A = this chain, B = another copy of it.
Amino acid sequence: MSTPKLSARPALLFDLDGTLVDSVYQHVLSWSDALESEGLHLSIWRIHRRIGMSGGLFLKALDRELGTSLTEPQADRLRQAHAAALLGRLDQVRPLPGARELLAALSSMHVPWAIATSGASITARPTLALLGIPESTPVVTRDQVAYAKPNPDLFLAAAERLGVPPGDCFVVGDSIWDLLAAQRAGALSVGVLSGGYGQEELERAGAYRVYDDPADLLAHLDELGIRAAG
In the complex with contacts A29-B29, A200-B201, A45-B195 CB distance below 8 A: yes
In the complex with contacts A200-B200, A200-B201, A194-B43 CB distance below 8 A: yes
Contact across chains for A196 and B45 when beta carbons are under 8 A apart: yes
Q: Chain B residues with Cβ under 8 A from A45's Cβ? A: 18, 22, 24-25, 193-196
Contact across chains for B195 and A198 when beta carbons are under 8 A apart: no
Which residues of chain A from 15 to 66 have any CB-CB distance to chain B below 8 Å in the complex?
A: 18, 22, 24-26, 28-29, 32-33, 36, 41, 43-45, 48
CA distance A32 to B41 in the complex (A): 24
CA distance A67 to B190 in the complex (A): 27
Chain A binding surface SS class: helix
Q: Chain B residues with Cβ under 8 A from A41's Cβ? A: 94
Contact across chains for B198 and A32 when beta carbons are under 8 A apart: no
Pick the contact of A25: B18, B28, B199 (CB < 8 A).
Answer: B28
Q: Which residues of A does B touch, CB under 8 Å?
A: 18, 22, 24-26, 28-29, 32-33, 36, 41, 43-45, 48, 92, 94, 96-97, 193-201, 204, 213
Add 14 more A-B contacts to A25-B48, A29-B29, A43-B97 (CB < 8 A): A18-B45, A24-B45, A25-B25, A25-B28, A25-B44, A25-B45, A29-B92, A33-B92, A41-B94, A43-B213, A44-B196, A45-B195, A48-B196, A199-B201
